[in-house]
Structure 1
Amino acid sequence: MLVHGAVYARGLRRYSTYRAATLAGVLTNSVFGAINAMVLLALFGARPEINGYDATDAVTQVFIGQALIGVTLIISGPSLDLSTRIRTGDVAMDLLRPVPLQSWWLAQDLGRATFAFAWRGLPTFAVGALLFDLAAPDAPLATVVSLLLVAVLGFALRYLYTLSGFWILDVRGLWTLMGFVGPVAAGMMLPLALFPAPVADVLRLLPWASLVQIPAEIYLGKDTLPGGSALGGLALQAGWATVLLGLGAWVTGRATRKVVVQGG
């Protein structure tokens, strides 16, 4: 635990040095959030309620999604530094550590996610609250727990994408593909409530929805959550976190038998 705590602190300290990039991220997320919000306000001006969502719900979810971009890195990465180490063969040195590969990178990424949420996510949401009428959290404690699970889930998915480098060596193509699929399936580009009901019901059960749509519905107190409650939403997120981390551990075991050193 001491090792993981040190790795977490290192990740937090490392990303806290990128202050200009963080400020640019806040500005970018705020601008795109405002544009998306105004489009949705125009939509709800013509139809005040869609599948249990009103204009305030939709705009609130827009800024929840924008606040979580830096945490999840759902839009085209960047991938974990591990992808480069796999390509160069330096991952062989990582495997010599007396710490599992997955937990090492999880601790570091949680440090990064903590900084991203505190210094990029919260300011972005605050800008949204200044510009628009956003809803207050229906269940604050459940929302906090949900956000913690978002950080774990975001890592778990990115870790699996990264591990594909043991077989395909260059993961940029996969990252590009998931940069399109992930935000749509997560409800970041458009709340899933605006999709046809059968499509939305399926997408809510996929892991990407637990990155944005489920946390947003927990925040808003929607009865579309599994079991109709925040507890059901948290159970879905925790279930996916367990499955994905378990899958990551299994794939790591398979992948480390196939370490390919390229270029050295």
Structure 2
Amino acid sequence: MLYTAVAAGSFRRYATYRMATVAGVFTNTVFGFIVAYTYIALWDERPHLGGYDQAQAVTFVWTGQALLASVALLIGGVGELQERIRTGDIAVDLYRPADLQLWWLSADLGRAALQLLGRGVVPMAVGALFFPLALPADALTWACFLLSTTLAVVVSFALRYLVALACFWLLDGSGLAMISGLACMFFSGMVLPLRVFPGGFGELAQLLPWAAMLQVPADVLLGARTGGSLLRGLAFQAMWGVLLLAAGRLVQSAATRKVVVHGG
């Protein structure tokens, strides 16, 4: 019940920033149009590039815009946690009768739920009005997509949590967070679907944890993963989520043995 309350509180907290949500919807929609027309021009020259037809490629664009904020595809760390570590306020968190990792995971799930509703649904709806999107007609595919999106948020949080914990050793973790954000943007499929990448490089990119954040959920929505392929995709996401959360647990244990407050 504690972590459910944390998630609900985080949802309500982000819901208060209405103008920020409206601005985010506008930004996602504008960039969706720009990237969609870029993809249309590319797929006009290379039909079925990466195994997608043009409608699927454009749907991939709007899926990325819908998940951009909820999965935190451009954010390299957990900003508030990084700041609390830097200032030493993390000591208060460690005294709470709650697990630090589960506390922040619950808060991130609440944030992601609000962002999916606030900054995900509207851009996708606008995209569907102006472009012929390849959206599924059956409820089961949508349910699998929501499950895959939830796993994507968990993987994203686990990676960002590791970056944030690095602040226990670094005076400023913003540089590492920026590198992590750039890696996520490229290897998640935000720039181009990973299926487009050539040869062994493309195969490697699809095995990295960032692929679990956008490429897999998008493929689930597009119907590119069905049956056994769908189960393997979900298992791939779950595997990276468990591994990264376990790594975060180990790093957290090492970091909290001796808490150093930077600056005094």
What corresponds to 1:176 in structure 2?
178
TM-score by length of 1: 0.94
Deviation at 1:13, TM superposition (A): 0.8
Alignment partners' CA distance in 1, 2:208 and 2:72: 17
Determine if contact 1:221/1:229 at 8 Å carries over to the other structure.
no
Shift of the 27–73 alpha-carbon distance from structure 1 to 2, 3 Å rule, reads same
Deviation at 1:197, TM superposition (A): 3.1
Alignment partners' CA distance in 2, 1:147 and 1:26: 19
Alignment partners' CA distance in 1, 2:229 and 2:108: 29
What corresponds to 2:235 in structure 1?
235
How many residues are treated as equivalent by the alignment?
A: 261
1:49-128 alignment, distance < 5 Å = 49-77=48-76, 79-128=78-127
Determine if contact 1:40/1:58 at 8 Å carries over to the other structure.
yes
Deviation at 1:169, TM superposition (A): 2.7
Alignment partners' CA distance in 2, 1:242 and 1:212: 18
The answer to whether 1:257 aligns with 2:257 is: yes
Alignment partners' CA distance in 2, 1:200 and 1:228: 21
Corresponding residue SS for 1:93: helix
Alignment partners' CA distance in 1, 2:110 and 2:96: 19
Alignment partners' CA distance in 1, 2:41 and 2:22: 29
Displaced runs of 4 or more, over 2 A: 76-80, 137-141
What corresponds to 2:247 in structure 1?
247
Determine if contact 1:80/1:159 at 8 Å carries over to the other structure.
no
Unmatched 5+ stretches in structure 1: none
1:148-187 alignment, distance < 5 Å = 148-187=150-189
Determine if contact 2:188/2:212 at 8 Å carries over to the other structure.
yes
Question: Which residue identity is paired with 1:16?
Answer: A
Deviation at 1:230, TM superposition (A): 0.8
Alignment partners' CA distance in 2, 1:133 and 1:178: 34
Q: 2:205 aligns with which of 203, 207, 210?
A: 203
Question: Which residue identity is paired with 2:242?
Answer: T
Question: Which residue identity is paired with 2:259?
Answer: V
Unmatched 5+ stretches in structure 2: none
The answer to whether 1:11 aligns with 2:42 is: no
Alignment partners' CA distance in 1, 2:221 and 2:73: 20
Deviation at 1:77, TM superposition (A): 4.7
Alignment partners' CA distance in 2, 1:110 and 1:76: 15
